[in-house]
Amino acid sequence: MAVNVVMPQMGESITEGTIVRWFKNEGESVAKDEPLLEISTDKVDAEVPAPVAGTLLKILHGPGTTVAVETVIAVIAEAGEAVAPAVAAAETAPAPPPPSPTPPAPAAAEPTPARERGEAEPARRTSPLVRRIAAEHGIDLAQVPGTGAQGRVTKEDILAFIEKRRPAPPPPTPSAPPTPPPATVPAPRPAAPTSKATLAPTQPFVGEEVREPLSVMRQKIAEHMVASRRTSPHVNTVFEAELSRIVALREGAKATFEAQHGLKLTYTPFFMAAAVEALKAFPVLNASLEGNEVVYHRHINLGVAVALPHGLIVPVVPHAEELSLVGLQRAVTDLATRARTKQLLPADVQGSTFSITNPGPYGGLFGLPIINQPNVAILSVGGIQRRPVVVRDGDGRESIGIRDMVYLALSFDHRLVDGATADQFMAHLKGVLEAGRFELA
């Protein structure tokens, strides 16, 4: 019999969702768990999988439509079912509302996997997350045994395949205490931007201008930013830190780290770990304000900003104080991957107590970000650059040396945090980074 597709409940506080686009047209076949449509809520954008395999008979709500959760939005005839009766049943479903003045969202830049391979290969359909993992590891999905419906490759399948082909890790070597790096330490290369802004008109110019509505995500970003500025009196402070020890540590360990853990070692977990230590020393920056009460949080839940082609999202690493540097890297890699493949859940972007944003990979020296409510502070990490600086030896003699330097900027809520406290926090953070005493095991 025909199966209804409903707007999913993405979280207890979410009551509606907006349809961004459909990946399938009426009359096309779908596989169970294949991405069927993309929705946007006030928390996250997400892809909704098909509940059954069959034929998409009827789309009841088009792109740009906002509907309540549990509302029927489409009808699928199950595999092997006669189409005509199902179509008749679908026609009795609630009629779609009048067309919204909002124009349809632009079609995806890339064809769906089914169209890439042709409809004759439904068994190889996979989720965007699986395809991304395969691309990152150079894996042909045709070689991966699938345990999902109709032989579909699941996330567990691709991870198990990677684990089997991974070489055994080299025997551990005793770690030596960090020493000041020589002047020949290679300059850190800016990471290649993982996303490119695509905010450009989707319609051709007719006359002097083109007008298009903001996407749901951009509307929510606008609301949150204006509310934050209205709520918190923002003050900023900027520090400079030397990262030569960290650069040398990462350069020397990144190959072994990836072989042992299956993760690329980035600079982000170093800043996260340093922020955790500074927040332990100054817990007021890990607090929030509710009316006339200061709410101190037991755990440090770090929000890490992730740039997307169509906006920005801040997924959260909960209980960051309990994680090693390896754990922090694993957590932030997972969240960033799921953010870019629209696999985040509302719980993944809630509950932050302090946030970090990083404009450095794009060449920015530093930024003065808007506080992520209800936090009282946010740290901005600039680009790491090798620059000539004045250095002092143990006897106080000065000379000019080439060092790896970074600007760190803190935006803080002056209702709760004073300038002296903010500067002491930043001095502590700077000290942790410059000491470079991080365990990579």
Give the CATH number of the domain where residue 129 resides.
4.10.320.10
Q: Is the same domain home to 40 and 145?
A: no
pLDDT in tens, 333-360: 999 999 988 888 888 999 999 999 998 8
- Domain limits for position 137: 122-166
Would 157 be classed as within a structural domain?
Answer: yes
pLDDT in tens, 171-207: 544 444 444 554 445 555 544 444 455 567 778 888 8
Judge whether 356 and 364 are in contact, CB under 8 Å.
Answer: no
Q: What is the pLDDT of residue 239?
A: 98
Q: Is the same domain home to 245 and 145?
A: no
- Selection from 92, 2, 7 nearest residue 52 by Cα: 2
- Selection from 151, 135, 5 nearest residue 67 by Cα: 5
Q: What is the pLDDT of residue 109?
A: 37
If pLDDT is split at 50, 70 and 90, which confidence band does 363 have?
Answer: confident
Locate the DSSP E strands across 186-296. 234-242, 288-290, 293-295
Q: Which two tokens stand for residue 91?
A: 């026609």
Please provide the DSSP assignment of 363-411 as one string.
Answer: T-S---PPP-TT-SEEEEE---EEEEEEEE-TT--EEEEEEEEEEEEEE
Q: Is the same domain home to 129 and 248?
A: no
Would 113 be classed as within a structural domain?
Answer: no
User: Would you give the DSSP letter of residue 1?
Assistant: -
Q: Is the same domain home to 386 and 280?
A: yes
User: Would you give the DSSP letter of residue 143?
Assistant: G
- Selection from 308, 287, 406 nearest residue 354 by Cα: 287
Q: Is the same domain home to 129 and 94?
A: no
* Mean pLDDT, residues 33-55 taken together: 86
Last residue of a domain, one of 70, 102, 134: 102
Would 336 be classed as within a structural domain?
Answer: yes
Q: Which two tokens stand for residue 55?
A: 């034929």
Q: Is the same domain home to 79 and 134?
A: no
Would 333 be classed as within a structural domain?
Answer: yes
Q: What is the pLDDT of residue 12?
A: 60
pLDDT in tens, 416-426: 999 999 999 99
Catalytically active residues are: 414, 418
Would 34 be classed as within a structural domain?
Answer: yes
In a 13 Å sphere around the CA of 58, the CA atoms on its Cβ side amount to 24
Q: Is the same domain home to 147 and 296?
A: no
Mean confidence (pLDDT) of the chain = 82
pLDDT in tens, 311-324: 888 999 999 999 99
If pLDDT is split at 50, 70 and 90, which confidence band does 84 have?
Answer: very low
Q: Is the same domain home to 27 and 136?
A: no
**Number of domains into which the chain is organized:** 3
Would 187 be classed as within a structural domain?
Answer: no
- Percent of all residues in the chain with a pLDDT value above 70, rounded to a whole number: 77
Would 237 be classed as within a structural domain?
Answer: yes
CATH classification of the domain holding 71:
2.40.50.100
Last residue of a domain, one of 149, 166, 183: 166
Q: Is the same domain home to 159 and 98?
A: no
Q: Is the same domain home to 360 and 399?
A: yes
If pLDDT is split at 50, 70 and 90, which confidence band does 106 have?
Answer: very low
Q: Is the same domain home to 264 and 136?
A: no
Would 6 be classed as within a structural domain?
Answer: yes
- Percent of all residues in the chain with a pLDDT value above 90, rounded to a whole number: 48
Q: Is the same domain home to 394 and 330?
A: yes
